[in-house]
Amino acid sequence: MKQQNCDSKIKKVLVIFILVTFIILVLDQLTKYFMVKILTTRTNAINIIRDYLRLNLVFNPNLIWGIPLRNYFTYYFLPLIGVGFVIYLGIKAFTKFEAIIWGLILAGALGNFIDRVRLGYVIDFIDMGICKYRWPTYNLADSALVIGMLLLVIKIVFVKGK
């Protein structure tokens, strides 16, 4: 009976991992599609919250925060290794919290990897800052990746157990 409960729990955790990954990945790709449609014809950004938060289309051919590393290994092979490792960790997740963490990280990595393979660049559109002091423009995949990493740090530092 205990084995059956354990198998059921593992299946639920795996379903959460897959659902989080799928939902965030679909939302990321949809928002990028619509932002390209909406923002391509504009010459200036759309202010959402004054100048603090705006929509501004950027095609980023570089890595995180615009770091230029132009070789096949860093653009394609290294992310594939990372995606494979995160899939492994997501499948091995013990708790729902871990499944959410790995689902967010996987969706973020896959969302930008899909852009890079399909287009040769990543579509970014969320622009935050004050006047000329701006954070690098980002997208939903970047947000999911950062939130997943922050949750992972919280889990490592504050959550007891496995």
- Which residues are designated catalytic? 124, 142
Q: Answer for the pair 106, 86: CB distance below 8 angstroms, yes or no.
A: yes
How many Å apart are CA 39 and CA 85, to the nearest integer? Answer: 35
Count of Cβ atoms closer than 10 Å to residue 125 Cβ: 22
In this structure, is the dihedral angle defined by the CA atoms of residues 16, 17, 18 and 21, taken in order, positive or negative?
Answer: positive
Cα–Cα distances in angstroms (integers) from residue 42 to residues 13, 129, 134, 150, in the given order:
43, 20, 20, 34
Q: At 55, phi and psi to the nearest 5? A: -100, 125
